[in-house]
Amino acid sequence: MTYEVYDDVITLRLIKEACRMLNVSEEAVLKLFGEYFFSFCKMSGYDRMLRTLGGNLMEFIENLDALHSYLALSYQAMNAPSFRVEKRADKSMLLHYYSDRHGLCHIVPGIIESVAKDFFDSDVTMEILNQTEEEERTGKKEHVVFLVLQKFRQPTKKTNEKTGTEAAIQQNQPEELDTAVQKISTKCSSSSSGQVLKKSYWDIVRSVVKFGKGSLLHSFEPVYPQQLWVEERVFCNAFPFHIVFDKELKVKQAGVNIQKYVPGLQTMAISIDDYFTIIHPEITFTISSICKFINSQFVLKTRREMMPESWKKQPMLKLRGQMTWMESIQCMIYLCSPKLRSLQELEERQMHISDIAQHDTTRDLILLNQQRLAEIELSNQLERKKEELRILSKNLEIEKKKTETLLYAMLPKHVANQLKEGKKVEAGEFKACTILFSDVVTFTNICAACEPIQIVTMLNSMYSKFDRLTSIHEVYKVETIGDAYMVVGGVPVPVASHAERVANFALGMRLAAREVMSPITGEPIQIRVGMHTGPVLAGVVGDKMPRYCLFGDTVNTASRMESHGVPDKIHLSPTAFRALQNKTFEIVKRGEIEVKGKGKMTTYFLIQNLHATENEIMGRSENYTALVNDIHQNASNRSICGNSLSDGEDPKKAEESPLEENSTINSKLCLLL
């Protein structure tokens, strides 16, 4: 989220995880992050703003605090670091980095090196000279001193030639300018009438600029008046927010409006630190500390206890501006403006736009930022809605998958997809498939003797096992009606091995049914299974609760095989027998029987798959049987230990033994599950 404030703990966790995954140091990751952050800021629309901060690297760094102060108008909770630069005699720089966010100082070299390379066509190397807790700054802020060495890149040959020409022009400029000044002075000192025309110094300079060749910027030197042509009253009104104080911090002068909102300043010889605290940079209120950060932007805040009683409940006034040391009079002047973000803050301090000087851009800044804050709030709302939509979309996708899973359990996948798209599902003819029916032996008697919930529990246990087997053997479950269970192989996706798949499924059904107990007798239930192979027609019938149904005589014959079957046997029709003949199955002939509606038919019983174990049929691990036998053996041994003790055996030890055995059995059961 763009305007969300994230804790540094999250950042440091991300860095540590990146270090672990990439096998690099935290310093390297942070430096790369600094390089990327600079690119990200440029891509985010701050490119021009960054380029205009300064004409060289030192000026750029000196103005970073001012940039952070401006950005704080939009990012109110931003906790930015502070920078101070010292120029050394060998042309290297000392960069002082202050921050109360520990562990992030290695981002700075990545940013500064990228800035030097992109904006100033130079290479920079940085190393840490000192890293301490700065006692001078309140709250013991982290203070890191970097040694910065800047090396400018060599220009191309063409550039060298051009630079040489410019240098020659600049070298000849003083002579040309002197000659031009002399000619103009002579010209202006006399006229045809013989009268002397007095021309001011500034007129001469203007003429030089107009007629001279080359640029004066390279040799510009400012000119100062011998005395300041400003009245004291006018100055205090023109700069309504300013304070002049001496080395002892005694206030010597103050603007009219700062006197208005800090009444105590009208008393002469009071100390400025009695009424103000320095918010930024976070230093002690002394002249020496201020001089160290003289190039920084200073933010002062009024002390609540020094304000009139009626003002103490309203927000305190903050001033933002520049400190300048006046050596000749040994005083510091603080030129400032109220630090305000919006019209609401202006009203809270009972101020008006008219209190701010007309030349002060704070007027425009407040009005522009008011609009900016409205845009930020709108952006925040949009981002929050976007995040809510993302979460809803994610939850919707989860629910959609659940719905699709349920739908695919009721209908074949390709059929369900066609119905979702609103298409009509055409009936399909399948020339060869194998259909299986099964039912529970004496199900009617069980229903008559049990509660409905017992019947539901029994059927659910049995059908859950059967459903698992359909996935293992890749057969399609058509439907269940009461105790009847119907599956088909080769539909809806035709496969040549449809008969083998259904046969293996039938063998698994028989094994699974033995694990389900009858609620009447407590013994395993028995099922009858019938199979038949032949052609069918398949399609979706109905608009409400549509079902994928099979039609044709093959369905009827398969049902007859089940109804004419024998408990715990798998009954095969002649066509099903032929489909499985010469395969890996053991089949025995039942003989000729009378089948209702079909006449006499020679049928068969499926006994087993000669090349597949029970575990393979049931889709279990090969270790399953060994684990079960082991558990039964341990249980048997425990029973023996519980009934008799060997000579000299401690009864207490024997009592503890079953518990140890139980632990072993439980662990093996967990492995089995």
Q: Per residue in 54-73, pLDDT tens?
A: 889 999 998 888 888 778 77
Question: Which pLDDT belongs to residue 625?
Answer: 59
Q: Which two tokens stand for residue 395?
A: 């939850």
Question: Which pLDDT belongs to residue 572?
Answer: 96
How would residue 160 be classed by pLDDT, with cut points 50, 70 and 90? very low
**Least trusted range by pLDDT, from 107-121, 209-223, 277-291, 346-360:** 209-223
Is pLDDT of 206 > 70?
no
Contact, 25 vs 19, CB < 8 A?
yes
Question: Which pLDDT belongs to residue 653?
Answer: 42
Give the pLDDT confidence of 506-522 residue by residue, as tens digits. Answer: 999 999 999 999 998 88
**Which amino acid is residue 265, in one-letter code?**
L
Is pLDDT of 665 > 90?
no
Report the C-alpha gap between 11 and 15 in whole angstroms: 6
Question: Which pLDDT belongs to residue 222?
Answer: 84
How would residue 322 be classed by pLDDT, with cut points 50, 70 and 90? very high
Question: Which pLDDT belongs to residue 667?
Answer: 41
Is pLDDT of 158 > 60?
no
Q: Quick one: angle between helices 362-410 and 413-420, nearest 10?
A: 130
Task: Using the structure block, give the residue that is written with the tokens 């101020």.
Answer: 351
Report the C-alpha gap between 342 and 175 in whole angstroms: 55
What pTM, to 2 d.p., does this model score?
A: 0.47
Q: What's the Rg (C-alpha) of the chain?
A: 47
Greater confidence (38 vs 643) lies with 38
Question: Which pLDDT belongs to residue 622?
Answer: 66
Contact, 204 vs 216, CB < 8 A?
no
Winning range, highest mean pLDDT, from 155-169, 207-221, 402-416, 656-670 = 402-416
Which residue in 34, 11, 5, 31 sits closest to 102, CA to CA?
11
Q: What is the DSSP string of 213-273?
A: -S-SGGG------SS----HHHHHHHSSSEEEEETT-BEEEE-HHHHHHSGGGGSTT-BHH
Is pLDDT of 666 > 60?
no
Is pLDDT of 159 > 80?
no
Percent of the chain whose pLDDT exceeds 90: 48
Question: Which pLDDT belongs to residue 201?
Answer: 54
Question: Which pLDDT belongs to residue 273?
Answer: 92
How would residue 343 be classed by pLDDT, with cut points 50, 70 and 90? confident
Give domain 8-152's CATH architecture: Alpha-Beta Complex (3.90)
Contact, 271 vs 249, CB < 8 A?
yes
Length of the chain: 673
Q: Which two tokens stand for residue 414?
A: 């390709």
Is pLDDT of 310 > 90?
no
| H-helix or E-strand spanning residue 321 | strand 318-326
What's the Cα-to-Cα distance from 188 to each of 197, 199, 296, rounded to whole Å? 6, 7, 47
Report the C-alpha gap between 649 and 602 in whole angstroms: 66
Classify burial at 18, counting beta carbons within 10 Å of its beta carbon; exposed 0-12, middle 13-18, buried 19 or more: middle
Question: Which pLDDT belongs to residue 623?
Answer: 67
Average pLDDT, the chain: 82
Question: Which pLDDT belongs to residue 630?
Answer: 66
Report the C-alpha gap between 109 and 128 in whole angstroms: 10
CATH of segment(s) 424-623: 3.30.70.1230
Question: Which pLDDT belongs to residue 205?
Answer: 54
Question: Which pLDDT belongs to residue 161?
Answer: 45
**Least trusted range by pLDDT, from 159-168, 294-303, 408-417:** 159-168
Is pLDDT of 473 > 70?
yes
How would residue 193 be classed by pLDDT, with cut points 50, 70 and 90? very low
Percent of the chain whose pLDDT exceeds 70: 81
Question: Which pLDDT belongs to residue 637?
Answer: 60
Report the C-alpha gap between 166 and 157 in whole angstroms: 14
What kind of fold does domain 232-353 have according to CATH? Beta-Lactamase (3.30.450)
Question: Which pLDDT belongs to residue 209?
Answer: 54
Phi first, then psi, for residue 393 (nearest 5°) are: -65, -40
CA 305-307-311 angle, to 5 degrees, is 115
How would residue 652 be classed by pLDDT, with cut points 50, 70 and 90? very low
Contact, 331 vs 101, CB < 8 A?
no
Is pLDDT of 242 > 50?
yes
Task: Tell me the average pLDDT across 293-301.
Answer: 88
Report the C-alpha gap between 533 and 536 in whole angstroms: 9
Is pLDDT of 174 > 60?
no
Is pLDDT of 418 > 60?
yes
Which residue in 466, 459, 460 sits closest to 512, CA to CA?
466
Question: Which pLDDT belongs to residue 548?
Answer: 87
Task: Tell me the average pLDDT across 539-563.
Answer: 89
Question: Which pLDDT belongs to residue 600?
Answer: 93
Greater confidence (642 vs 20) lies with 20
Report the C-alpha gap between 657 and 643 in whole angstroms: 12
How would residue 341 be classed by pLDDT, with cut points 50, 70 and 90? confident
Report the C-alpha gap between 191 and 415 in whole angstroms: 108
**Least trusted range by pLDDT, from 14-28, 303-317, 647-661:** 647-661
How would residue 141 be classed by pLDDT, with cut points 50, 70 and 90? confident
Is pLDDT of 133 > 80?
no
Greater confidence (532 vs 280) lies with 532
Task: Tell me the average pLDDT across 132-161.
Answer: 70
Report the C-alpha gap between 614 and 473 in whole angstroms: 13
Greater confidence (281 vs 608) lies with 608
Winning range, highest mean pLDDT, from 154-158, 167-171, 233-237, 418-422 = 233-237
How would residue 525 be classed by pLDDT, with cut points 50, 70 and 90? very high
Is pLDDT of 611 > 80?
yes
DSSP 1: -
Question: Which pLDDT belongs to residue 580?
Answer: 95
Question: Which pLDDT belongs to residue 183?
Answer: 55
Is pLDDT of 121 > 80?
yes
Contact, 65 vs 83, CB < 8 A?
yes
Cis ω before 225 (30° cut-off from 0): no
